Structure 1
């Protein structure tokens, strides 16, 4: 295993004078990045105890945020990203579950409300101005690299730990999946660090000496993506498919001759829009990746070939392809028995990228992981909850979700978590949250309440105090009665169909 800290160290030596980041139109060399890493690691070592293996990072669009991640990894610890724009209640849950004692922050004014009040110490990166002779700590493949928290059905975020070995396997397989990056590359980084796709947009490029171009938050985010792609001549663009929906009105104007690689993940990729995208970037290789957080960012991939004209799709959705190098995929029935090609079932993944298990949640592990024989070897598999069918060539075609877990803006969201918070507002009212797809292909949520006479806009507004914006329903609807299925449960499918018919 070549650890991520060792990979970055090699780049610091070989590429000191090359640019590592372009943030808010300011460029920083690898030498400058290395200096910030060493200063922040020095500050960290002076404060953190030797047995403190998890360190928070209050993630903002600043060089020190990325330097903090690298400093934590170099110190032999694992990072836990915290989004200061998320509700304090959510960050408090993450801090509590992870047992964080310290977090590194750039913007102290923002971080104080989010972190200090939750009894987690703050290490201000702005005060990290000197560097001791801090070394790179020896690590094992089983040591953690990071801990991310995703939406949980109980109302509490669930922790997914990723090891150094998981991360190293991902970086290796990414390079072998037509997605190698080089020091000459200029790479788009549009993701919040709490979203695991960001690993592919900053750690992967940095480990290959490329320059990362970040996108700040705010209402002008998509305009900034457009500007960076067009004006800065970016060569690699990791994107969630919904970005193309926002850029689509400008496709006739967009010309990206230098873009050599576009890769997508996080949502279903629609064939018609990716076909249109190829006209904006005719020289770009297009890859559709698939992977849950539990399998370290990406686990399968599909190369889109516009010229060949024989791309695989199902219901207009591009295939998620085949497992990346070292990974395994099987399709199983309800009894976890492997199915033949052509049979629809649940996708399950195995391999060196698979998390060792959920954070302090053995009961969830027992429900989610199982052993199965493949290629004469017993392997540990993860149940993704995604329904697929595998064709005779081995390519996987996405059909939908087993449960009520969906993807919104690239984030995986449990409808149960949203409903958990709605329940505190609506008390005894019957309600349900259902996904809705607009005519443009954008996903959103609708809160449907039975016989409600109050102001649903106020209900939705109150949710913003408890859950991130991407999880808040776009609108609320009151119905006289909610449809029930044969089991007496609210018929979600009937409601979705009703809203789909209204859309049509």
Structure 2
């Protein structure tokens, strides 16, 4: 366990840079970054972040993708005493600009691959952040107006920050934006204390050592990426950033890099299973196989277990508001199939120190074995939504001296494990990303649809929309592509003369699904 003096996320990288400086901390393709190099680089960048802010910065955006700048930029922000705000260059510029404006960042770390979108991203921001270009020169950034830029030469010449600003458990480690039902992403601030509780619970479970090598399959705007990076660096292990194309056939990559810990969304494994690539014994180096972000189908767990026979397969569950994951279930090849509900592996039991509460529609706790909404309290419960007190009051509530978060997930306790029964609202998981269907509907309405309903259809990985009004599906699709990430853009948009209604006069989503099954 760690102490209050080293609660800072990223403290482990500094410790291991002293005791095992030459060990590899990060693998990017064929490039290997040692612990000593990673720590020294992050401290140099941190020094310039502090200097540019005129003191400790509050928040630092990281506009980079699977590069040294993206990973070490996060560490530099933490060493400067700031919270990092991950941004994705593949998201529409308007969406990312909204995140930047709402986060009110003091500085922005940008890699060379993200430079083409930088000028447009900064345009219109009421307060321009200082821009750090770790792997590019100022001239390559184009016309940024009066924005202050520190480029690769500046960062290489900087002296490392000697004295890191002190960090308290309640200080923010990162600010992550997730899908919001109003069409505006909502911010989830996560504290150092939140993440420390998560890391300690997971190290107690997985006992990682410097000999472990972890995958990094997630974009950094997905909070599951925090597990890979900091579970590795807190314990002297190596994190290996996989190119997304390598997920389509990861076996050579796993063997070449000696991967011992796999972590991904279940759909990444499901694709391999559907393509017939999960052959028995094809992943012999793995000792832990972890899945999170969406339901884990029984067939996927069985096929993965056969392909990685020396590994333990586990299903993790948790919303961002409860810091990455809050429950876990270990797959048993013998008894596991019988424990599945709706064909999915249970989500298991809460981590030590967390307090589950299952409530009915009236908000009162239900008896064990009855269905209800899962709520959770404990050290991983984040402090509420970013500058959104009304939304915080809706989803966080006090009960018997603890603050609980309403997950919106329906569960039931079966034996000693919770099983997931679905959502009690319009929030779904698409490709592991949490999506508010209402956000997609808001974009469709803004683009001209009189009424709009987004559904997860015909499978768990696809969004289909049904609209009413004089609407052009092609124009609506273009509007979605301009405003939403690819995983939120409907694969098909159907136009109806009117929506089916239920007895309460509300749109009948079940009837819409029936119409889709019948081909409309």
User: Which residue number in structure 1 is paired with residue 457 of structure 2?
Assistant: 436
Out of 191, 196, 203, the residue aligned to residue 163 of structure 1 is: 191
Deviates more, 1:273-282 or 1:300-309: 300-309
Map residues 105-504 of structure 1 onto 2, 5 A cutoff. 105-107=110-112, 109-113=115-119, 115-117=121-123, 118=125, 119-126=128-135, 127=152, 128-134=155-161, 135-176=163-204, 178-217=205-244, 220-223=245-248, 225-248=250-273, 249=275, 250-252=277-279, 255-309=282-336, 312-373=339-400, 378-391=401-414, 393-428=415-450, 430-438=451-459, 442-450=460-468, 455-499=472-516
Q: Give 1:308 shift.
A: 4.3
Q: Residues of 2 paired with 1:309 and 1:407: CA distance?
A: 23
Q: Residues of 2 paired with 1:221 and 1:433: CA distance?
A: 31
Deviates more, 1:483-492 or 1:99-108: 99-108
The 8 Å contact of residues 290 and 316 in structure 2, kept in 1 or not, is answered as yes
Q: Give 1:111 shift.
A: 4.6
Q: Which runs of 4+ in 1 moved over 6 A?
A: none
CA RMSD of aligned residues (A): 2.0
Deviates more, 1:106-115 or 1:266-275: 106-115
Q: Give 1:319 shift.
A: 0.5
User: Which residue number in structure 1 is paired with residue 139 of structure 2?
Assistant: none
The 8 Å contact of residues 230 and 254 in structure 1, kept in 2 or not, is answered as no
**Residue by residue, what CA displacement relative to the aligned partner does 1:463-504 show, whole Å, maximum 9, x if unpaired?**
11111111111112233432111121211122234445779x
Q: Residues of 1 paired with 2:256 and 2:272: CA distance?
A: 15
**Residue by residue, what CA displacement relative to the aligned partner does 1:159-181 show, whole Å, maximum 9, x if unpaired?**
100011111111001112x3332
Q: Residues of 1 paired with 2:73 and 2:336: CA distance?
A: 45
Q: CA 1:224–1:137 in structure 2 vs 1: closer, same or farther (change >3 Å)? A: farther
TM-score under structure 2 normalisation? 0.90
Q: Residues of 2 paired with 1:287 and 1:294: CA distance?
A: 21
The 8 Å contact of residues 88 and 113 in structure 1, kept in 2 or not, is answered as no
Q: Residues of 2 paired with 1:478 and 1:29: CA distance?
A: 56
* Structure 2, gaps ≥5 residues long: 136-151
Q: Give 1:215 shift.
A: 2.1
User: Which residue number in structure 2 is paired with residue 39 of structure 1?
Assistant: 44
Q: Residues of 1 paired with 2:333 and 2:255: CA distance?
A: 22
TM-score under structure 1 normalisation? 0.93
- 2:37 pairs with 1:12: no
Corresponding pairs, count: 490
Q: Residues of 1 paired with 2:498 and 2:164: CA distance?
A: 62
The 8 Å contact of residues 25 and 35 in structure 2, kept in 1 or not, is answered as yes
The 8 Å contact of residues 73 and 79 in structure 1, kept in 2 or not, is answered as yes
The 8 Å contact of residues 57 and 81 in structure 2, kept in 1 or not, is answered as no
Q: Give 1:279 shift.
A: 0.8
The 8 Å contact of residues 176 and 189 in structure 2, kept in 1 or not, is answered as yes
The 8 Å contact of residues 333 and 346 in structure 1, kept in 2 or not, is answered as yes
User: Which residue number in structure 1 is paired with residue 149 of structure 2?
Assistant: none
User: Which residue number in structure 1 is paired with residue 107 of structure 2?
Assistant: 102
Q: Give 1:228 shift.
A: 2.0
The 8 Å contact of residues 186 and 234 in structure 1, kept in 2 or not, is answered as yes
